[in-house]
Amino acid sequence: MYYMKRKGIIFDFNGTLLWDTQLHNRAWDNFLKNHGFSLSDEEKHQRIHGRLNSDILKDLFESKLTREEIERYALEKEYEYQRLCKEIDEFSLAEGVIELFNKLKEQDIPFVIATASGIENVEFYIRELELNKWFKKEHIVYNDGSMRGKPLPDLFLRAMDILGIEGEDTIIFEDSISGIRAAEAAGAGKVIIVDSNSGEYNSWVDKYTIITHFHQIDYEWFNK
């Protein structure tokens, strides 16, 4: 048996629990091509990963879009992403995630999701990945239009409110640069970086634990 000093866990979703970065990259590539843009993988890593679609689109189009255009373009990109997801033979959570969820449930350790995804993708994930086995819908904090996106801490602060705990009592799992900065801004007691896509984490390599798969988790980390 292990005992956890931290009182709750917040998981980012895309690139953390679901290793779908390349699918998002392909969906963005298709969207960008249709609208006369092109970004390298590094540019996508810096300008897209972990951010709200509304912020991404304002950046790409230099704030020249109406609210209706932003909503339409965001859905265009996400429906393309969902189409690509459905082409995969085994669309599933990252290896080791379900085992982790089950262990956390056994130990009565609360955990929630905080994602920049919109409701269209959250409902897709609930349906396709059966997230309702581990999460009530109200325990999935998503981009509902009322919060600022990462690297600002709003999503994580909302998740902490749901858990009923302070930042210092929280462990956050993240993969994106903007998400790590948001976790820091939220005052997370511990950040675990999930390197699902060979990311560049030089700024944090001496500060946070970095894992490349969930079987690397040592539950003693949660006691520190």
Q: Over 70: is that where the pLDDT of 198 sits?
A: yes
- Smallest CA-to-CA distance from 45 within 61, 64, 28, 32 is with 28
198 Cβ neighbours under 8 A, 6+ residues apart? none
Categorize the per-residue pLDDT at 47 as very low, low, confident or very high, splitting at 50, 70 and 90.
Answer: confident
CA distance 102 to 53: 32
Protein fold of 8-20+94-223 = Rossmann fold (3.40.50)
CA distance 84 to 195: 22
Residue in the block written with tokens 């602060």: 157
**Residue percentage of the chain with pLDDT more than 70:** 96
Beta strand 209-211 pairing with 8-11: unpaired
CA distance 50 to 39: 16
Q: Give the type of residue at 62.
A: E
114-135 confidence digits (pLDDT tens): 999 999 999 999 999 999 999 9
Listed by start position, the domains of the chain span 8-20+94-223, 21-86
Give the pLDDT score at 131.
97
CA distance 27 to 30: 5
The CATH architecture to which 21-86 belongs is: Orthogonal Bundle (1.10)
CA distance 76 to 5: 43
